[in-house]
Structure 1
Amino acid sequence: MRTMIVDEGRTDVLAWKCATQDFEFGTRLNVHESQAAVFFRDGQLIEVLGPGMHVLETRNFPFLRFFTKLRFGKYFHAEVYFVNLSVQMSLPWGTRDRVNVMLEVEPGKAMPLDVGASGTMNVQPDPDQVKEMLVWLVGTGEELTAESLRDKFNSMLNTKIKTFLGRVLQMQNMNAFTLDQHLNDVSQALFGVLEPEFRKYGVWLREFYVDAFALPEDNPAFQDARRLAEGRYIQHGKLDLEYELKLKQAEKEAELARLEGEKTLVEADVAARANVTTAQGEAVRRSLEGITSVQEHQFATLDRMVEAGGAGSAAAGGSGGDGSGLGDMTGFFGDVMKMGIGLEMMRNMGDVMKDAMNGAGQAGANMAQAASMNGNAGAGMPGPGAANPYAGQNPYAPNPGQPSAAVPQPSGWICGGCGRENPADTLFCGGCGTKRPEPEISRAWICGGCGRENPADTLFCGGCGSRRPESNIPPQADGAWK
């Protein structure tokens, strides 16, 4: 069975020499993915083998023909180095000596300070420069560790960092007490300087970090400057805190005011919607009942009169003697309400009484007209336009010396198109847009016998029965009656 050579080595070793130097032809050499195998003959680098299982035979690797054959040609002599291609993480570094730099300690004032630096770096053998690393860094040694690699570059690191660190700090005008805020910037700047130097030796500088700056804490002048800076920082911190608290309070008050305004708007909107809904409901109810708001107001007035009459029936009841007294009438209405007949019946009874009164007045007018037309009455009956001697006997005729009671007028006008009640100061209906009808010109006339004001469409006085003068009869009324 052929021999297999597997050499894994330690993780902190970058390159090491294989312990086996006499190889049998046909030996299998196992190279891991993170490794490379380098063959030397007589001190010269011959070949680099990458990852995989390699069978050491001349037909696979013609360069093996040039190696010294031993033991009847079954073996050959060679030196093989394994190279670890993985990244070596967090190798520490630091400046042995400090560099003197002029740094700002307060606005407009700088002082010379001895500054040092330290940090870590990540390195890796360059797969394309394995030969260079073995020749320049390993040579004839047995191995190259990460620590020894750092030691080899230590002098170069100190020289480059000290030279460049002072230049970077001064060019960017950094403050001595805020250097930690610029760690990343300084790290990137130093990486750009050091990376080409590592490449020369076949090593890839992957990352370079400055972790801390060393300041002269034992310098009295620096200590005084630090105390002054800390005092200013505390004072500014208090002012900033007060400003932040005031700003938050103002923002809170503004938010509360905004919420209060939104609440007011929402409440107003809800109230407006409720009013609209109520008005729409009232309009639907009136439409179903077939009444207007003016009629409803008149009904409510009548209801209050009935209630007032019922309340006063106890005090005024029976005062009329013959059953016609006001107490009996109001008592009757009150009793009716107590019996539960209802509002609608009371409204109908009110209408009946009004019609009865109008009939009585019309009867008196007709009697007066008949008397004036009777020839047997002679001069005792008043003629047209004459005073009526029976005017004082009519209980419904107004006193000439007193003005007639004003008839209540509706507060608005009713649209003939949709039945909507509109305000008195509008010209068009708010429901359908119909124009308000022109008001009829009233041409009422005054009776010469009793002084009563009569409607324009009447020919006889409603108070005394006297005929309307011919000169005061409008053409349409005259034509209608004639």
Structure 2
Amino acid sequence: MGVNNVVLLEALEWFDETGQELLHRLPEEGSGEIKYGAQLTVRESQAAVLFYKGKAGDAFGPGRHTLKTGNIPIVTKLLSAPWGLISPLRAEVFFVNLKVFADLRWGTLDPVAFRDAELGLVRLRAHGVFNIRIVQPVLLINTLAGTMGRYTTEQVEDYLRQVIVSRFNDYLGEHLRTLFDLPGRFDDIAAGLKRALEADFARFGLALDGLYVTSITPPEEVQQAIDDRSRLSVIKDMDNFVRMKAAMAMEKAATGTGEAGAGLGLGLGMMMPALFGNLQGAGGRAAAGVAAVQARCAECGNDIPAGARFCPFCGHEQLVSQQCDHCGANLPPEAAFCPRCGHPADEHPREVVCPGCHATNLPGAVYCNQCGDRLG
């Protein structure tokens, strides 16, 4: 390029072969003795700034320009003898790349804290891409590049990434209530975050040409909670869903062998009455939206579904032919004394048979424990 020759004039131009340089300085080794009449060629995607005597001049647009300095060929060399034949009229040209630098990556190196309205404090990771372009070349040189001979996107990307993450954390805290509202809002978040970052980029002579959010990821346990909630929103009839899952588990257990399979089958068999006790005749009650009435097991004291024949917790039989008048324990058939308190088993009223489903109910029952219809 002939920047520091003694006699000939300079012809200055620059090509970015890497596609990643924001700016490039000529001469590359520092300032030079750019002479009066040197030719400067600037491409459409570039701008050039002449620094003369340490001060920035106007930016040159596309085209060929003639530079005017105090350096005259040969004469300047002779007059600069007191300074070791180095002219004090130093000059350099900064070429600035005005194209859009696309596909720059941003993301959280460490999770950022977000206080979710429903999940509490959650740590999030987020990633995306952004595009930048230079809109004020002199400001970029004075604030970021300084006297560096070349300045690339790799050098500025780390800093801009930190700025984006900081604004991202603030934006989520102000505009997002809970992660359950996140699906479908990536575009809104990206647009709002871009507006919040415009001033941060403008102070360096940069414009944020585009910003995109590709992922916002909570911890695995939070993702599991979100997935569970999504599944529950799909299930319209939880009772039938639970019964279906129980039937599938029993079918799988039936194919098992050995003591483990037998024990699992026995446990599920004891739960069968509680799971399926309300299937018969329950259509009218379910359609009317009536909640299942809870009963209490006399043996273990746990709440169990009304009408269950066996307690799903301890296996205690709930519907019996007679009970002890003294302690309420179930009496075996033809028992003379209560096995719990020893009280004599006297004559008891007869059991009540439901006329609808023909289920046997305890003496004095008003509603059938099997189908819920009124007795008598």
**Paired residue for 2:154?**
147
**Paired residue for 1:350?**
none
Among residues 198, 201, 217, which one is paired with 1:198 in the alignment?
Answer: 201
Q: Distance in 2 between matches of 1:227 and 1:42?
A: 65
Q: Would the alpha carbon gap of residues 116 and 224 (structure 1) be closer, same or farther in structure 2, given more than 3 Å must change?
A: closer
Among residues 11, 16, 21, which one is paired with 1:13 in the alignment?
Answer: 21
Q: Would the alpha carbon gap of residues 236 and 80 (structure 1) be closer, same or farther in structure 2, given more than 3 Å must change?
A: farther
**Paired residue for 1:90?**
103
Q: Is the partner of 1:181 in helix, strand or coil?
A: coil
Deviation per CA, 1:417-466: give whole Å up to 9, x if none.
xxxxxxxxxxxxxxxxxxxxxxxxxxxxxxxxxxxxxxxxxxxxxxxxxx
Q: Distance in 2 between matches of 1:174 and 1:158?
A: 18
Q: Which structure has the larger Rg?
A: 1
Q: Is the partner of 1:23 in helix, strand or coil?
A: coil
Aligned residues: 217
Q: Would the alpha carbon gap of residues 227 and 12 (structure 1) be closer, same or farther in structure 2, given more than 3 Å must change?
A: closer
**Paired residue for 2:48?**
37
Question: Amino acid of the residue matched to residue 99 of structure 2?
Answer: S
**Paired residue for 2:142?**
135
Contact 2:97 2:134 (C-alpha < 8 Å) held by counterparts: yes
Q: Is the partner of 1:22 in helix, strand or coil?
A: coil
Contact 1:180 1:213 (C-alpha < 8 Å) held by counterparts: no
Q: Is the partner of 1:140 in helix, strand or coil?
A: coil
Q: Is the partner of 1:53 in helix, strand or coil?
A: strand
Deviation at 1:19, TM superposition (A): 2.6
Deviation per CA, 1:82-101: give whole Å up to 9, x if none.
00000101110012332332
2:171 maps to 1:164:
yes
**Paired residue for 2:121?**
112
Deviation at 1:131, TM superposition (A): 1.1
Q: Distance in 1 between matches of 2:53 and 2:36?
A: 19
Q: Distance in 2 between matches of 1:69 and 1:165?
A: 60
Q: Distance in 2 between matches of 1:223 and 1:198?
A: 34
Q: Distance in 1 between matches of 2:121 and 2:43?
A: 53
Question: Amino acid of the residue matched to residue 165 of structure 2?
Answer: N
Q: How does 1:76-475 map to 2 (within 5 A)?
A: 77-103=90-116, 109-126=118-135, 129-170=136-177, 173-175=178-180, 179-217=182-220, 219=221, 222=222, 225-235=225-235
Q: Distance in 2 between matches of 1:6 and 1:33?
A: 12
Q: Is the partner of 1:8 in helix, strand or coil?
A: coil
Deviation at 1:150, TM superposition (A): 1.4
Question: Amino acid of the residue matched to residue 202 of structure 2?
Answer: R
Deviation per CA, 1:355-382: give whole Å up to 9, x if none.
xxxxxxxxxxxxxxxxxxxxxxxxxxxx
Contact 2:25 2:95 (C-alpha < 8 Å) held by counterparts: yes
Q: What stretches of structure 1 of length at least 5 have no aligned partner?
A: 59-63, 238-482
Q: Would the alpha carbon gap of residues 73 and 195 (structure 1) be closer, same or farther in structure 2, given more than 3 Å must change?
A: same
Give the aligned CA root-mean-square deviation in angstroms.
2.8
Deviation at 1:159, TM superposition (A): 2.2
Question: Amino acid of the residue matched to residue 86 of structure 1?
Answer: K
Q: Would the alpha carbon gap of residues 92 and 44 (structure 1) be closer, same or farther in structure 2, given more than 3 Å must change?
A: same
Q: Is the partner of 1:96 in helix, strand or coil?
A: coil
Deviation at 1:224, TM superposition (A): 5.0
Q: Is the partner of 2:169 in helix, strand or coil?
A: helix
Q: What stretches of structure 2 of length at least 5 have no aligned partner?
A: 1-7, 78-86, 238-376
Contact 1:37 1:81 (C-alpha < 8 Å) held by counterparts: yes
Deviation at 1:119, TM superposition (A): 0.5
Contact 1:100 1:113 (C-alpha < 8 Å) held by counterparts: yes
Contact 2:25 2:94 (C-alpha < 8 Å) held by counterparts: yes
Question: Amino acid of the residue matched to residue 114 of structure 1?
Answer: R
Deviation at 1:182, TM superposition (A): 0.9
Question: Amino acid of the residue matched to residue 65 of structure 2?
Answer: H
Q: Distance in 2 between matches of 1:212 and 1:168?
A: 17
Question: Amino acid of the residue matched to residue 113 of structure 2?
Answer: N
Q: Distance in 2 between matches of 1:210 and 1:35?
A: 30
Q: Would the alpha carbon gap of residues 100 and 236 (structure 1) be closer, same or farther in structure 2, given more than 3 Å must change?
A: farther
Contact 1:39 1:81 (C-alpha < 8 Å) held by counterparts: yes
Which of the pair is proportionally richer in helix? 1
Identical columns (%): 27
Q: Distance in 1 between matches of 2:199 and 2:10?
A: 42
Deviation at 1:236, TM superposition (A): 5.7
Q: Distance in 2 between matches of 1:157 and 1:24?
A: 44
Deviation at 1:11, TM superposition (A): 1.9
Q: Would the alpha carbon gap of residues 86 and 101 (structure 1) be closer, same or farther in structure 2, given more than 3 Å must change?
A: same
